[in-house]
Amino acid sequence: MTSTAPLAGLKVLDFSQFLAGPYASLRLADLGADVIKVERAGTGDLSRYLYVSEVRIDGESTIFHAINRGKRSISADLRQEADREKIWALIDEADVVIQNFRPGVIERLGFGPEVVRARKPSIVYGSISGYGSGNQWQGLPGQDLLAQARSGIMWLSGGAADGPVALGLPVADILAGAALAHGILALLVRRGISGEGGLVETSLIEAICDLQFELLTTHFNDGGQPPQRPGNFPAHAYLAAPYGVYRTADGHVAIAMNSLDKLAACLSLDAPFSGLDPFRHRDAIKAELAIHLETEPTDHWIRIFVAADIWAAPVLDWKGLVESGVLQSLDMLGETTRGGQSMQMLRSPLRIDGARASTDTPAPYLGGPAPAWGRDES
């Protein structure tokens, strides 16, 4: 039985570039939406040329391919009246508009939410910025690392002797894009009920603060105490021993919340933690555990931990992840081809009616293929 993609027939016009906005439209495309990127004439989305390695697919960055698969592209100079009219024709046919410029930029270009919604009240308009508007940061560059720096999150990873530690991936961008997609879908549901469109807005700082909601709630209600990172084997500033990442004879193992007595029995220790508080004596307990964990290889400990229902896992690299076969069993690995080059990539994290919701068509060339809707056929 073939199921219809949930967003089949939905038309999205996406002014955004780089990661946050395009991630939102990627999620909509995976669910069946028809997404057209509006790109600057001549250059296009700058992520086409943002190389994080020497790998290029059909002359363009893997970043661009990863986040723009399944979309189409229209090249436009928004200063030219003829191109502006083409964009308005597309908006007239669209259900959703997305943008992620700094506050005020899309308004100066003439396609801000007020004028778009005045022309088409049923439109769902999604907007992402770095820091929102109406505050002292609103005009600053909205980039992932900078949002991490301002959010306080860099003081949660690493150990007590370390300086601030950045997360090694664009977490603020991806979370903001996911939040925007969430809001867009909510407004589409409302539109289906009442016919009313709407505006949904988020920002990198809002998304990355939301990621910390649990710990910020603790901070707000314990007298504003700063996080106390462990002095060794760090993993979480607020959790007691044995929580951490430890060396073994041939790798590393992660150990989560567990009974210290149960863990000591697995390690054949003679109750060495009696009378020790798991948080106040966190570093001493971890140091004792580390001595024993380094005596045997990872597989040895994992077998023991699994048998005893200890919460632990081997620390895998990407090779180990792929070789586990889990991604393959979940049908998360896809492949697409453009310009005669094939490229393996991750598919959507969603399953709809038992099947992976994902588009496997490649990222578009700049300005093509021509959009099939909102086009003057005369």
Assigned domain for 216 exists:
no
How would residue 50 be classed by pLDDT, with cut points 50, 70 and 90?
confident
pLDDT of residue 223: 94
**Identity (one letter) of the amino acid at 4?**
T
Assigned domain for 362 exists:
no
Contacts of 248 (CB under 8 A, 6+ apart): 293, 294, 296, 297, 298, 300, 301
Query: Once rounded to an integer, what is the mean pLDDT over residues 138-147?
Result: 95
Q: Do 259 and 193 fall within a single domain?
A: no
Q: Do 298 and 347 fall within a single domain?
A: no
pTM above 0.85, yes or no: yes
Assigned domain for 368 exists:
no
Helix axes 204-211, 144-151, angle to 10 degrees: 50
Q: Do 260 and 345 fall within a single domain?
A: no
Assigned domain for 158 exists:
yes
Q: Do 302 and 192 fall within a single domain?
A: no
Q: Do 53 and 190 fall within a single domain?
A: yes
How would residue 372 be classed by pLDDT, with cut points 50, 70 and 90?
low
d(CA 79, CA 97): 19
The catalytic residues are 173
How would residue 151 be classed by pLDDT, with cut points 50, 70 and 90?
very high
Query: Once rounded to an integer, what is the mean pLDDT over residues 191-198?
Result: 98
Percent of the chain whose pLDDT exceeds 70: 96
Under DSSP, the state recorded for 373 is S
> Cα angle at 344 between 339 and 349, to 5 degrees?
125
Q: Lowest-pLDDT range, 127-131, 150-154, 357-361? A: 357-361
d(CA 352, CA 5): 8
* Single residue among 314, 340, 365 that ends a domain in this structure: 314
d(CA 125, CA 191): 12
Residue 151 is part of a domain; what is its CATH number? 3.40.50.10540
Strands 333-338 and 252-255: unpaired
Q: Do 298 and 341 fall within a single domain?
A: no
Q: Do 186 and 46 fall within a single domain?
A: yes
Assigned domain for 370 exists:
no
Strands 34-40 and 72-76: parallel
Assigned domain for 295 exists:
yes
Q: How many domains does the chain have?
A: 2
Domain membership of residue 284 as a residue range: 252-314
Q: Do 116 and 41 fall within a single domain?
A: yes
Assigned domain for 138 exists:
yes
Q: Is 217 helix (H, G, I), strand (E, B) or coil?
A: helix
**Identity (one letter) of the amino acid at 278?**
P
pLDDT of residue 375: 46
pLDDT of 321-343, one tens digit each? 999 999 999 999 999 999 999 99
Q: 157 with 165: CB under 8 angstroms?
A: yes
Residue 269: both structure tokens together: 């220790």
Q: Do 261 and 202 fall within a single domain?
A: no
Q: Do 195 and 294 fall within a single domain?
A: no
For residue 234, pLDDT over 60 is answered with yes
Report the phi/psi class of residue 95: left, alpha or beta, with left for phi > 0 and alpha for psi in -120 to 50: alpha
Between these two residues, 310 and 373, which has the higher pLDDT value?
310
Q: Do 297 and 332 fall within a single domain?
A: no
d(CA 68, CA 85): 25
**Identity (one letter) of the amino acid at 177?**
G
Q: Do 178 and 86 fall within a single domain?
A: yes
Assigned domain for 179 exists:
yes
